[in-house]
A and B are shown apart, each in its own frame.
Chain A
Amino acid sequence: MIMDEKDEHVEGGMLIDWDLSKPIPDKSTATRRYARTVSQVSEALYLRVHCPHVCCHQGTWLFMAGDLVRNLDIPQNVEHDIESAFWVVFWIMLSYLQTNLSVGDRSCYLMNTMNPGVFGGTSVSKALFMASPIALDELETPSSPLANLLKDMHNTLGKRYRVSKKDKNSIFVTEGSTQQDNVVQDQHEPILYFLRTVLEDSPWPKDDRASLQEVCLTPYCPPSV
């Protein structure tokens, strides 16, 4: 949540709603999938915001990392949480900020890319979006630092998707330190760097307050007047 109070412990924002979190007893153990709390429901948060008459009160699926929604067996880890931060900001941008994206593009991102089918079928779409180096090429917003930050985050977070399993198992990779591990470890710093730079140096617009953007729930519904 955004904090208005000025307090050194409260800078910027706070993390709340810990009610589905769980402790990881051993530092080396990531949370295991079978114990994950997110229910496998494809109800979507965008419905709640854009279409409050549609029953919906579960939206975590939208913000889960591409490989987690694709594969039931991989453990959740810090890199997934960092990717979730990207998805949250991307969702807010799609839902509340003006961009050069059309209603169709926005709707497609919210309904398909971010909300793929559960485990299998279309579930690869999120991972493909992360892996694609050109996915956000066309994105423009009046707040150019935001667009740049999203592109930088997308590019950095996408790296681990571009290392295919084939490479990982290749005989040229030495055991114990896979290429993928290195990519993961290198994620945090560059993103922090982008963030610091973009917050300190860039000219941010002052008045681009949240305004709900139009989306189309099905590809066939007529555009509202």
Chain B
Amino acid sequence: MTGGQIIAYATTLLSNQYRTHAFSVLIIKDYARLIRWDRSGAIITEPIYYNTEPYLFDFLVCYDCASKEARGHDPTVGPPTDDEERAARRLTELVNAKSLLSVTIQDPKSHKSRCFIISGPRAQPDIRVPTGRWTRTSIAYDVQRNRRVLLKDSWRVLMEGIEPEGVTYARLNNHLVPNVPRCELAGDVGDEEYHRSLTHKFVNEYYPHPFALEFVPHRHHRLVLDHIGRKLEDFNNSKEMINASLIGKLIRSC
């Protein structure tokens, strides 16, 4: 019961903000546990008997002194400038957005940061766990090129053989594969310390975990697509759906 409740709280926290991780303190009678949530799981401390042990107090003092990044803030997301906000509000998708955010991605070639304006995150009620790739796609305003694009923010899995999605797009785009959107920009974002999940490192650290293989490491990744479409299940008629789902997959592949 408690497990479900604290998972729901952590999910709400991590879904309503752009955060890399979050901490919570679970207090049960005379002891507390500290929990660190990220995209691959949660690290939970042994019980801390706070009446006799100093660790809970120490944690709060450390948290208070810690940098924003150490607390889980994502420094690549922030408020847009007034000019950016005015320009972005011209897009129909952003005109009525409650709040706007400026998201940056570093261009791997020029090493300069590029800004994209999106609407603030929405809660995703159908996802009940904070772990996973947590893909969030937004219609975004590309400040540099003054146009509408699709921005995909996700935590890619770090598994052998799987390339970052941006690399796959670059390969497909370079070979002029049809029916694949053009990827303008892609890359891992943030630093290697906080924009990478940690839980998997601790899985077998203190005792063997029965589901150790289930903890997949994740890395924060963003990409920008120039083509924006509709979901396959939002079709206006069946011909349109067949056309979209099969033409791309079958006709163009021969």
Contact = CB atoms under 8 A, between A and B. Distances in A.
Nearest to B236: A209
A40 to B, nearest CB: 10
Interface string A95-131: 1110000000000000000000000000000000000
B240 to A, nearest CB: 6
Interface in A61-105: 81-82, 85, 88-89, 92-93, 95-97
B181 A85 contact: no
Interface in A155-200: 188, 191-192, 195-196, 198-199
A6 interface: no
Interface in B145-183: 154, 156-157, 159-165, 168-169, 171-172, 178-181
Contacts of A207: 236-237
Nearest to B241: A92
A37 B227 contact: no
Interface in A9-58: 9-23, 35, 37, 48-49, 52-53, 55-57
Given A21-B168, A23-B171, A88-B232, A55 B127 contact: yes
Contacts of B154: 19
B249 interface: yes
Interface in A124-156: 141, 143, 145-146, 149
A2 B244 contact: yes
A194 B249 CA distance: 14
Tell me which of A16, A48, A92, A191 has the highest count of chain B C-beta atoms within 10 A of its own C-beta.
A16
B157 A37 contact: yes
A9 B181 CA distance: 9
A10 to B, nearest CB: 6
Interface residues of B, number: 53
A16 B159 contact: no
A179 B50 CA distance: 71
A89 B162 contact: no
Q: Which size bracket describes the interface of A in this complex?
A: 35 or more
Contacts of A149: 242
B244 A12 contact: yes
Given A22-B162, A35-B160, A57-B132, A16 B225 contact: yes
A190 to B, nearest CB: 11
A3 interface: yes
Contact of B245 (A92, A191, A210): A92
A92 B126 contact: no
Contact of A4 (B127, B164, B229): B229
A149 B243 CA distance: 12
Interface string B120-145: 00000111110011010000000000
Interface in B15-68: none
A204 B133 contact: no
Contacts of B233: 49, 92, 95-96, 210
Contacts of B248: 12-15
Given A11-B247, A18-B169, A23-B163, A188 B254 contact: yes
Contacts of B111: none
A9 B241 CA distance: 17
- The listed residue with most A CB atoms (<10 A of its CB), out of B156, B221, B225, B236, is B236
A15 B161 contact: no
A19 B165 contact: yes
Contacts of A10: 179, 227
Nearest to B150: A16
Given A13-B243, A23-B161, 15 more contacts: A14-B180, A15-B179, A18-B169, A19-B168, A19-B221, A21-B163, A21-B168, A85-B246, A88-B232, A145-B238, A191-B250, A195-B247, A195-B251, A198-B242, A204-B239
3 closest A-B pairs by CB: A13-B244, A1-B229, A55-B128
Interface of B: 125-129, 132-133, 135, 154, 156-157, 159-165, 168-169, 171-172, 178-181, 221, 225, 227, 229-251, 254
Interface of A: 1-5, 9-23, 35, 37, 48-49, 52-53, 55-57, 81-82, 85, 88-89, 92-93, 95-97, 141, 143, 145-146, 149, 188, 191-192, 195-196, 198-199, 204-210
